[in-house]
Amino acid sequence: MPRNLYVTLPVKDLDRSVDFFEALGFSFNPQFTSENGAALVINDNTSVMLVAEAFFSTLSKVPITDPRKATEALFSLSLDSRDEVDALVRKAIAAGATEGHDPEDLGFMYSWAFVDLDGHQWGVFHMDASQMPAQ
C-alpha cells in the first residue's frame, strides 16, 4: 500500500457540510460515509473525512479548535486552470462560504481562497510550472 495522508476535519453539521461540498461539485464515498462522518472525494487517491464534532471529540484527547479564532491548518487544492479556480471559489461563496483572500496572480501561479461553513480555510490554485521564474 502506498503512503498516503488522511485528513479528518470536524464539522458542526455533517449534512450541511455534505450539501455545501456537493454544491461545489464534489462527491462522497458511500463506503466511508455514516451518521458520524463522510469521505469527501478529492481524487482517486485522496479524500478528506468530514466528521461530526461529537464523534470527532472521541478521536482526540484535546479540545477541538475553533478555526474562526485560531488557524488549525490551511488546505490547498490544485486545479487545472485559472478558470476552474475562479469557478470553484465562486461556487463556494454562492453556497455560503466567505472569501479567504483576494485572487493573487504571481504569473506562474494563480490562487484564491474560501473559508467553508465551519471556518476551515481552503486555498485553491493553478500553477503553470513552465512559467516559474529561473532560480
Contacts of 92 (CB under 8 A, 6+ apart): 20, 24, 114, 116, 122
pTM tops 0.85 = yes
Query: Is the confidence at residue 1, as pLDDT, over 70?
Result: no
> What is the tens place of the pLDDT at every residue in 34-78?
999 999 999 998 999 999 999 999 999 999 999 989 988 999 999
Residue 47 grid cell:
479524500
Instruction: For residues 18 and 31, give the distance between their C-alpha atoms in angstroms, rounded to a whole number.
Output: 15
